[in-house]
């Protein structure tokens, strides 16, 4: 069965520093991977996706993610964090079995301190 | 704005009652997904409809049901409500069933059962 894991419940980073939010996946076949962000009292917003091609994927708000097949990882990164990036981040994988639903990780809360 | 509209935004109801949550997908999107987000269970897939037909079921209780209408809007019906049903319910839509398209989420309906 397809799954993703987010090993960190919370990540703390100072404003201006680079940030990384980790995600590892377990799939049979080629993965379709996604990152979403959830701000307080809001729905999930799509950030970026990896389907095929370049391992470095660029997305919204200056975020990017690196797909690493050998390490089965899809870490979210940003070169310089902003206080406004503080939110809950979810990694997800498409279930390519009998449904194409998104399977989400448990989420990582990113806290950016001024 | 994701283009997915959910109503109502908040709902407070008593145990044993029945409620209906409504979702209007993005224009042109044929797939609708329902998710439940609770603190202890994370984001759980409930059910998916594609062009009016049920496509897949996830962790949906028998007390819950859904449907997608000819105009593609969807409703999630929750009956015999229990305290544990209190959660944020999200609807998402995507343009087709292929795995490489992202899903867009509504802002959710926060259900509180008292």
pLDDT, tens digit, 9 for 90 and up, residues B63-94: 999 999 999 999 999 999 999 999 999 999 99
The predicted pLDDT at position B73 comes to 96
Contacts of B6 in chain A (CB under 8 A): 43
Average pLDDT of span B9-35:
96
How far is Cα of residue B13 from the mean position of the Cα atoms in its chain?
Answer: 17
Q: What are phi and psi of B83, to 5 degrees?
A: -55, -40
For the CA atoms of B21, A38, B42, A114, the dihedral, rounded to the nearest 10 degrees, stands at -150
CB A64 within 8 A of CB A77: yes
Within 10 angstroms of residue A1's Cβ, the number of other Cβ atoms is: 8
Torsion sign over Cα B47, A37, B27, A101:
negative
Q: Which letter does DSSP use for residue A15 in this model?
A: T
CB B21 within 8 A of CB B6: yes
- Interatomic CA distance for residues B14 and B12, integer angstroms: 7
> How do residues A49-96 score in pLDDT, each as one tens digit?
999 888 999 999 999 999 999 999 999 999 999 999 999 999 999 887
CB proximity under 8 Å: B 25-54 to A: 31, 33, 42-43, 45, 48
Label residue B97 by pLDDT band (50, 70, 90).
Answer: low
CB B38 within 8 A of CB B90: no
- Interatomic CA distance for residues A112 and A89, integer angstroms: 13
- The residue of B46, B89, B96, B105 whose CB has the most chain A CBs within 10 angstroms, and thus the best one to mutate to test that interface, is B105
């Amino acid at each position: 069965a397809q799954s993703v894991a987010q090993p960190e419940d919370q990540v703390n980073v100072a404003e201006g520093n680079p940030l990384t939010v980790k995600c590892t996946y377990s799939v049979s076949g080629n993965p379709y991977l996604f990152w979403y962000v959830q701000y307080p009292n809001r729905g999930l917003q799509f950030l970026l996706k990896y389907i095929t091609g370049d391992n470095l994927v660029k997305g919204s708000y200056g975020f990017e993610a690196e797909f690493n097949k050998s390490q089965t990882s899809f870490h979210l990164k940003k070169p310089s964090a902003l206080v406004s990036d503080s939110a809950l981040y979810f990694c997800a994988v498409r279930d390519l079995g009998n449904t194409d639903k998104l399977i989400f990780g448990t989420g990582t809360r990113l806290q950016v301190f001024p | 704005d994701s283009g997915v509209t959910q109503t109502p935004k908040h709902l407070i109801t008593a145990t044993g009652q029945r409620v209906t949550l409504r979702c209007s997908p993005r224009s042109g999107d044929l797939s609708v997904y329902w998710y439940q987000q609770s603190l202890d269970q994370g984001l759980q897939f409930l059910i998916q409809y594609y062009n009016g037909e049920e496509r897949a079921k996830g962790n949906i209780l028998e007390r819950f049901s859904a449907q997608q209408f000819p105009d593609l809007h969807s409703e999630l019906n929750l009956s015999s409500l229990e305290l544990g049903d209190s959660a944020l319910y999200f609807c998402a839509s995507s343009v087709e069933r292929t795995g490489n398209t992202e899903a867009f989420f509504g802002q959710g309906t926060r259900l509180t059962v008292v």
